[in-house]
Every structure is written in structure tokens, then in C-alpha cells.
A and B are shown apart, each in its own frame.
Chain A
Amino acid sequence: MLASRVVSWWKMVTADEGDWDMVDVIETPMPGVGVRYGMTARSGRALGVVSHHTGRRDLIVYDAADPDAALVAVELTEDEGKALGELLGGSRIVEQIQDLVHQVEGLMIDWVRVGEDAELAHETLGNAAVRTKTGASVVALVRGDEAIPAPGPDDQLLPGDTAVVVGTPHAVRALAQLLHSER
């Protein structure tokens, strides 16, 4: 088998419905070229990105009739790829964290929005003791336009914050539960 695997579930919780929207991104190494990421949009179309070792990025739209074949391949420079990512709603943090994911197998990164009535809302990270409880850590908080890259024990988890959570998949799921579930 190829070394394909699901890299990340970009989970996003819509605050009012508590609805989980998961996107499977499949990563396949391409020896000598780089890495290919693929996903199928809800609309049914398959999309992909080939990330070349050289920094070049190819944005691929697959053929609806033959989802293995690239219908359109747009070559982008590293900077253009970043710009497009920003336009599509990514952020630079995502990219940095993705690099981290690539280095460590078995590690999962998740973005979890802190719910209005979550068990841990308004708690400081020190009091919340999430690592003791679940085994996963909060490595960054995103509050509006501001990012708190390495939150300390005194930083609070405010409703509406997005917590960047790192740990084994099991631990991350447990912590995500605490962050969005009601008390």
C-alpha cells in the first residue's frame, strides 16, 4: 500500500447547532516530487494540492467523470499558494501546525471552538488542568484576530475562542468534548 493516510480532520463546531463538519484530507507521499493532498468536496468534486519539495504548489481540480485524472492543474509559487490559502480562510498558524503534524506520527491537531456554556468556559488553563484530565494540551488560543501562541496557566478559555489542541487522537477528542459540551 502507499503511505496514504488521513492527515487531519478539520473539525469546526458551529456554536448554535453543535454540528460537526469533518473534512478528510488524504496525504500521499510522492517520492522525488513531494506530497499530494486530496479531498472530496461535499458537492462531489475531488480537489487536490501537490506540494512540491521545491515549494511549488499545484492546485488540482479532478475530472468529474474520472476522479483520478487532473482536469485542471494550476501551478502556483509558494507565495501564491499561501495567498490563496488565506483567501480560502486558512491562516498561517494552520500551515505551521501542519508542518508539526508531518513530523510526528500519531499526533493529532485540532481546532476546537470553546462553547458558550462549555464546562471549561471562563476557566484559566491552570485551573482547567486539561492535560491531567485528558492527556491533550492547548498549545495556542485564537481570539478574534489575535493569537496567543503559547498560553500560560493564567490565560482564560473564553467562549468563542478557538483552542488549538494537540495530543493523541483519543486525548484530543476527550478535550474537544470538554471544550464544547455544556456543563
Chain B
Amino acid sequence: MDTASSTLLLELGVVVLALAIVARLARRVGLPAIPFYLLAGLAFGQGGIADVGAAEQFIEVGAEIGVILMLLMLGLEYSAEELVTNLRRSVGAGVVDMVLNFVPGLAAGLLLGWDLLPSVLLGGVTYISSSGVVAKLLADLDRVGNRETPVVLTLLVIEDLAMAAYLPIVGGILFGGSPAKTVVTVVGAMVVVAAVLGMALRWGDRVSSLALSGSSEVLMLTLLGVTLVVAGLAERIQLSAAVGAFLVGIALSGEVASLGRGLLLPLRNLFAAVFFMFFGLSVDPTLIPEVALVAGSLALVTTVTKVATGWWAAGREGIGKRGRMRAGTALVARGEFSIVIATLGVQREADLGALAAAYVISLAVIGPLLSRFADSLATLTDGRAGYPRAGHSRPSV
């Protein structure tokens, strides 16, 4: 075997093994793996522990596939109908969520003297909670059946849907050139997104049954192939590959979606881990100390704003104090999508990568911790359970 390919295998093996070790560590301490993957990336990167030169190209492509698979899986979670109904019914909560959590990031970017685009991206980073971390958290803490859980899930859906609108807009600004051209790109992207959603609502079942096959191998290859093609096409028309993959996931429903989730999960786990590490790699670790203060303050402010969002939204559903605190703290964790968004702007603003990495690492740890102690936090606020008295105007369950 020639040295180049053996070096590649060795380096790749070391990288994947390192990911396995940090994921195991994360599990041991009961925290999400994302911050650990990011830290691993930072450690491997410029000036870090080891050099992964030869494997870098593979990791770069793998990272891109990781984003696509994450968004595809996200889309597979929801049907178009669920998205549209939720959007219609909970748009108010979605707007509050966006205003409270997007503005701090945007403001911080502008205060740092950044251009508009990286500031808008930082707003996205602080806005979007991590569906993955939150879903895992709710399951781990046995809170899936709780009354506040639908509130949390609804907010997550709206955020995810907002991403489908946000990414093309940012993409439009990023590649647009003249203002007129940007507007055309953005409007075009919106039309495509709306058209796909409409088609998924109408013909989703038929499209899904086309993909169905008796063999899981065929189904997996079909799903992966279709998604990559659509993502590539979407990228070509500047809609962003991630949004293309998300739309494929939305369009598929029923049996194909549930089988597909099972089949693609191991692939998603591998490539998503590679993606987070790659992001860590692309950040210059020496920038972290410089941005630590900003990242910390931003994390503090947006922890409060997320808790406020959940608190308010759960309150509207007649949920008691402890439930409101659980809903608020559950939403604090930021993760995969904040990193996906930050990726778009690291070329323009080197500090954005370092800031997003530090921010996500802290909130992906703080969020789950706060969530675990939500009940005690709620009790702390006034020293008693603080549940509305019976007969209060709240639904019976």
C-alpha cells in the first residue's frame, strides 16, 4: 500500500476514534456530544494537538454531507401538514421567540463593528435552539408526556421552519451582489420553498410511495441520492443545500419517513460528528480568549431571553410555574443549527467562528444543566410551588 493512502486511513481513523472517545465522555457526564466534538476540532486544529492534513479533504466533504443529513432528518421528523398547522396556530409565540433571541445576537455583532451579514448570522446563532439537544433532553428527563412539552416542540418547529426562510435570505445577501439581484434571489428562493411545501401538502403521500421499496438498502440509497441531488440543485440556484435537504425531508412522510429515519440515523451521526469537528478545526483557537467575554455575556443574556420565551409561551397555555420554568430552560440549549448558520459567515468574519464555537459550547452545556434543575429554580423564585389555585381559568389537563 502506498504511503499517501495509509496516512489518510491512519489520520481518519485517529479522528473518528477521537470523536468516539469524546462522545463516550459526554455520555458519561450526561451532556450532549456537540460541545465535545467542537472542542475536539479545536484541539486538532491550527496549533492544536495533532495534524490531520491528509484527512482534511475528506473531513471537509463529510462535514457538508453532515449538514445535509441533519437537515434531511429534521425534515423527516415533521410532515408538511404539521408545519403549516403549527405555523398558523403559534405564529405569535414564534415571533416573540425570534424578537427576544435574534436581536441580542444581531446587536452584539453590530456593536462589535461587524458588517451587516455576519451580524445577521450571529442573530441566527443566538435565535435557534437545538432541536436535537432539546429532544434528547426531554426524553432523558422523562418529560415527553409533560403538559409543557407540546409548547416546547411547537417553538422548535417554528424555529426550524424559520430556518428554511432564513438560510435563503442570508444566502441571497451572501452571493447577491447588487441589491436588485439580491432581492431577485431571495424572492425566487422563497417561491421555491413555498412551492415545495405546497406540493408536499398535496402530493406528499404519492411522492413518498414512489421511494418506498422492499429492500432497506434500496430505500437508503434512494433517499441519500435524491437528497444529495436536490441539495446540489438547491445550492446551484443559491437556495442553500441545507434548505434543499430539509424540503426533501418535509416532502417525505408516512412509512418512508419512519423507515428512512432509522436507516439514515447511523450515517447522520457519523457525518454530523465530522461536521462539528470540522467547524472546530476551521476556528483559530487563539481567537477564543479574545471572544470569550462577548460569548459569555451573550450566552447569559440569551439564556434569560430563551427562558423568558418558554415561560411566556407556556403561561399562555395555562401551565403552572414549574412547568413554565421547565419549558423555558429546555429551550436554552443551542447546538447544531447555530453552527450551521455560523459556517456561512466564517469567511467574512473570522471572529464569528470563534464566537459561535464558544457560545454553543457554553450553552450546549448550560442548557441541559439548567433544564435538569428547572423545578428547583421555579421553587427558588418564590419559595413555594406556586401553582395556580384550582378553579383558575386553565384547561382541565
Measured CB to CB, the residues of A under 8 A from B are 1-4, 24, 26, 28-33, 36, 38-40, 46-48, 50, 53-54, 58, 60, 62, 65-70, 73
Contacts and interface: CB of A to CB of B under 8 A. Distances in A.
Interface in B53-106: 77-78, 82-83, 85-86, 89-90
Interface stretch (B27-35, B116-124, B150-158, B303-311): B150-158
Given A29-B82, A54-B258, A36 B385 contact: no
B85 A29 contact: yes
Contacts, number: 107
A3 B81 CA distance: 13
9 closest residue pairs by CB, A with B: A38-B397, A68-B323, A60-B145, A32-B77, A68-B147, A70-B145, A31-B157, A40-B396, A28-B150
A150 B326 CA distance: 48
Interface string B315-358: 01101101100100000000000000000000000000000000
Interface hub of B135, B326, B397 (most chain A Cβ within 10 A):
B397
Contacts of B149: 30, 36
Instruction: Name the prevailing secondary structure of the A interface residues.
Output: strand
Contact of A32 (B90, B143, B153, B395): B153
Contacts of B146: 68-70
A30 B387 contact: no
Given A26-B395, A26-B396, A73-B144, A66 B90 contact: no
Contact of A2 (B78, B317, B397): B317
Contacts of B153: 30-33
Nearest to A38: B397
Contact of A58 (B82, B144, B320, B397): B144
Given A68-B148, A70-B146, A73-B142, A31 B396 contact: no
Interface hub of A31, A33, A73 (most chain B Cβ within 10 A):
A31
